[in-house]
A and B are shown apart, each in its own frame.
Chain A
Amino acid sequence: MIAQEPPSPAEATPRVLAGFGAQDAKPKRACIVLWMEGGPSQIDTFDPKPGRPTGGPFKAIDTAVRGARFSEHLPLLAKRAGRLCVVRSVTGDEADHHRATLHLQTGRRPGGLLGHPDIGSVMAHFNREGDRPGYVSIRARQSAMSEVERGPGFLGARAGPFVVEDAANADRLLRELDARVKERGALLEDLNAEFRREHPNENSAVRESLYAAARALKGSDIERALDLRGVKEEVLRPYLGPDRPGTPMARFGTGCLVARRLVEAGVPFVEVLLGGWDTHGGNFPAVQFLSSRVDAAFSALLDDLAAGGLLDSTLVVWMGEFGRTPQVNLTNGRDHYPRAFSAVLAGAGAARGRVVGETDADGIDVLRDPVTVPELFATIVHLMGVDPAGRYPVNEIGVARVADARPCKAMLQ
């Protein structure tokens, strides 16, 4: 048996679109994922173990949820814990960055024939309008770790992300596009026609949708949302914590502000990346540093969304591909640990002021209410307003479900 060629996304997309009109009836939702690339330490953030051998040097502080404590470096979030659903019992078994990222982001283990879409692509697929990207990825990079390849998979490039490299200048590139972009685009399509007729292939379809998306961005409200030139300093300030605007460290906070503006402009899904969590060495200074940025930006985002009346329809998710070992290693770091880690949700229909699940005294195993990675994925999908049990027909190969597991009820309101 030879390996089957994966289905062409160009063929997959029209067939998948047909038959999903029923999703339109639901209220419009949006989702912002704060993706903590590298695997954030759960013990040093949302699931502290003070006084234990695995606890590390950070103190634990009380939060607005009685009995729940966070690391001392998350004071603003501690005050806002009443808005949060902290899941301490996420459990997976992938310890490789690439595999684990795909596991979290697609709800399945990687491998197998189909390239499954990541969360943003799922949302974009069902909620995108015309050629406008339905998924914006703000890669506020602070680490040199390699980016894992993930994206729309069999849903095709139309569901894929528009990537913003630098949130402070997100629209900088779009401003560089001249006015004749559309005319030139028309000539390009004509010159492509003959080649495409003689060489039908999936890659041409991908390129066509990329160029169409780029043209659709020019002059759109998405471009306006990315333009921060008119934004007052006092609006940006709360997102930045100790950092000054325009500095490299301010990228994550600025990205969160941009995410809020994009959701206001009707973009269904925004991801903001924060790297640097892969702390195999020197875990504690790094986590303290990153925590203060997360504390400020995540808090400011929640406040802004609530003030704008958007929190009830916007899901915010904080997570990485795995957690980190309770045991501290020889270089004062923590290594990869998928067995028991944390994720935090807020907004939309997520439970408020609740801690789901529990790990043991040292954070080694989940004691109660485990949430598997596929279940976490299914819950996020559900909270985004997409039916996790829904199916995509994927050519003749068969039917793929949106999610392979059921949402976790304890995480819902």
Chain B
Amino acid sequence: MMRAALAAALLALPAADNPVDRHLGALWREHGVSPAPRTGDAEFLRRASLDLTGTVPSEEDAARPPADRARLVDALLASDAFAAHWADRLGHSLLGYPRDLEDHRINRPQLHGWLRARLAADAGWDAIVRGLLTATGDFGADAPVSFINQFTAFIKDAPVLRPEDVTAKACEEFLGIRLRCAQCHDHPFDRWTQADFLAMTAFWRRTGFGAARTLERADKPFAYEVERAPLPGPRFLDGAAGRDDPADLADRVVAHPQFARVFVNRVWACLFGRGLVEPWNDFSPSRRPVAPALLDELAAAWRRENFRVRWLMRTVVLSEAYGLSSRAADAKALPLFAAARVRPLAPEQLYGAIARATRLAGAPIDVDRLRRLAGAQAHLPHDPHDALRAWFLRMSVQTSSPESPHAPSRLTANSLHAVHMMIVDSPLYDGARARLKELAGRPPAEAAAELYLATLSRRPTAAELKRIAGEPLEDVFWCLLNCDEFVFNH
């Protein structure tokens, strides 16, 4: 009783305006859990910078963290870095991370640019999804065909679209429905049947690769579709009959109640380290959201805001819940989002943080060394900085959680990742080497303070200065880039 009253007292704040806080507050009262205190301004600055722009704050900002969080968040959301970072995260979710065997049917930079332009223009997620599903043509037409093109098989060197794969991916990505199991037999515990699956693939009957080997919409179904046993006409998941045109599919996808819920959940998972439903894109009946009313209200409000991505990010990031501390988090608090998690960074964020902290942009990259580390068979972009980034992303994904683009709360890396990070003359640290040269000759305590601000966005404590006194600065810099405080979001 006492604890519930205490929790209620802590939560009698104007933050009840934010649906996140209103619903979570009720949840915490119901479970008798009191939320963690608010996190400090320096920590909030670092957290929001990483989550919204994929990198750590500049040393100047870190030295003077702002108290006005709303203003800070608006500035981050308006920046180019926001659009670039989220074009990355979403692009990796749509296409997967780059692999060694690169597919020439997809053009990652082009899709990235297309997404980035839309995010910068504050477009709605519905417009983005429509664009992805209805794209045709080649890359020159600024159409995001890569998303559909990734599902190509080659029969005697001719490209053939695989509508089953497009369907499975679209349902998972945009509706949080794992239809794939229904491809071979009726789903083990969800209600989808094989017939449902086939009926969904029929929306793609007239979409395929023409003589020009680019994606097109034909007047008649493609030949391999006709050869199958008579296909049921396109039928959406709700049973309604549709037209064999992805534009019709897109309309139905956007109108489906899951459309808003799954994107809200995706954003939630990225910002909190764990979705309201886990995994973020698997809303099977056997899983129940932590706070169903919260998910529904946020989804409805976001739909009314025309699915604008920035509005959603802003609403969540400016909630009190997002700004809680992660120190000494009570194990009971974490599943209820009553404390922030210590969570791994997404590979894009970790690279962005290292790049900024070591001023990688201006440093020369040792490309020969990079090729040696990446292995002879690796296909790397031509530009050295792009190559380093591509290699790092591929390595991170191969040594940790491979297909999740959204940095789950739990680190699943293996020791190969640690080996890579421990190679001190890796090109990953080329920026650090250049920076250390600049710092040579500076008083050690001053040099250390700069490195701490650059990496951990704070100054070193007296105890830390004492411990690092006498250690080679190169080792200190390496430790700062490999310590938990740097590689985690907290």
Contact = CB atoms under 8 A, between A and B. Distances in A.
Contacts of A141: 100
A146 B92 CA distance: 13
A201 B341 contact: yes
Interface string B389-412: 000000000110111100001111
A248 B100 CA distance: 12
Interface string B467-490: 110010001101110111101101
Given A162-B414, A177-B423, A202-B410, A191 B153 contact: no
B484 A195 contact: yes
A235 interface: no
A217 B415 contact: yes
A214 to B, nearest CB: 4
A173 B422 CA distance: 10
B103 interface: yes
A217 B184 CA distance: 44
B327 A330 contact: no
A225 to B, nearest CB: 16
Interface string B275-309: 00010000000111010000000000000000000
Contact of B377 (A151, A248, A331): A248
Contacts of B373: 173, 176
B416 A331 contact: no
B475 to A, nearest CB: 5
Interface in A172-217: 172-174, 176-178, 180-181, 183-185, 187-188, 190-192, 194-196, 198-204, 206-207, 210-211, 213-215, 217
B403 A190 contact: no
B415 A162 contact: yes
Interface stretch (A47-55, A91-99, A348-356, A383-391): A91-99
B423 A176 contact: yes
Interface stretch (B76-84, B109-117, B310-318, B329-337): B329-337
B342 A188 contact: no
B411 A217 contact: no
B479 A184 contact: yes
Given A176-B373, A210-B415, A281-B153, A95 B181 contact: yes
A200 B424 CA distance: 28
B414 A160 contact: yes
Contacts of B487: 207
B288 A151 contact: no
Contact of B402 (A147, A174, A177): A147
Given A162-B416, A165-B398, A201-B341, A190 B410 contact: no
A401 interface: no
B256 interface: no
Given A188-B479, A201-B341, A204-B484, A95 B185 contact: yes
B375 to A, nearest CB: 6
Nearest to A178: B424
Contacts of A185: 422
B335 A184 contact: no
Nearest to B369: A176
B435 interface: no
B18 interface: no
Contact of A95 (B183, B399, B416, B484): B183
Interface string A110-148: 010000000000000000000001000101010110111
Contacts of B488: 203-204
B181 A96 contact: yes
Could you say which of A4, A141, A185, A187 has the most chain B C-beta atoms within 10 Å of its C-beta? A187
B415 A213 contact: yes
A72 interface: no
A45 to B, nearest CB: 20
Given A3-B288, A210-B417, A330-B227, A149 B375 contact: no
B224 to A, nearest CB: 6
Given A93-B188, A187-B476, A199 B328 contact: yes
Nearest to A200: B328
Contact of B418 (A146, A204, A210, A330): A210
A282 interface: yes
A26 B238 CA distance: 58
B184 A95 contact: yes
Interface string B100-144: 110100000000000000000000000000000000000000000
Given A199-B490, A210-B418, A282-B155, A165 B375 contact: yes
Contact of A280 (B153, B181, B490): B153
Q: Which one of A195, A213, A217 has the highest number of Cβ atoms from chain B below 10 Å of its Cβ?
A: A195
Contact of A191 (B290, B341, B419, B464): B464
A184 B331 contact: no
Contacts of B372: 172
Given A191-B464, A211-B422, A160 B415 contact: yes
Interface string A1-34: 0111110100000000000000000000000000
Given A93-B188, A149-B402, A330 B224 contact: yes
Contacts of A204: 342, 484, 488
A218 to B, nearest CB: 9
A335 interface: yes
Contacts, number: 202
Contacts of B99: 144
A104 B181 CA distance: 16
Given A5-B334, A206-B411, A213-B418, A187 B228 contact: no
Given A5-B335, A163-B399, A188-B482, A111 B286 contact: yes
Contact of B398 (A143, A163, A187, A210): A163
Given A187-B471, A191-B479, A203-B488, A177 B403 contact: no
A75 interface: no
Contacts of A280: 153, 162
A188 B490 CA distance: 19
Given A187-B475, A187-B479, A203 B343 contact: yes
A177 B425 CA distance: 9
A146 to B, nearest CB: 5
A169 interface: yes
A213 B402 CA distance: 20
B256 to A, nearest CB: 22
A166 interface: yes
B375 A169 contact: yes
A207 B411 contact: yes
A384 to B, nearest CB: 21
B180 interface: yes
Nearest to A213: B415
A338 B196 CA distance: 21
B331 A5 contact: yes
B403 A146 contact: yes
Contacts of B184: 95, 335-337
Contacts of A202: 410-411
Given A3-B287, A196-B484, A281-B155, 7 more contacts: A3-B335, A94-B181, A148-B402, A184-B479, A204-B342, A207-B411, A211-B418
19 contacts: A2-B335, A2-B336, A94-B181, A147-B398, A149-B403, A160-B415, A161-B415, A162-B415, A163-B399, A165-B416, A177-B419, A178-B423, A184-B475, A200-B328, A203-B342, A206-B411, A207-B418, A210-B418, A331-B224
Interface of B: 31, 96, 99-101, 103, 153-155, 160, 162, 178, 180-181, 183-185, 188, 224, 227-228, 278, 286-288, 290, 326-329, 331, 334-336, 341-344, 372-373, 375, 377, 398-399, 401-404, 409-420, 422-426, 461, 463-464, 467-468, 471, 475-476, 478-480, 482-485, 487-488, 490
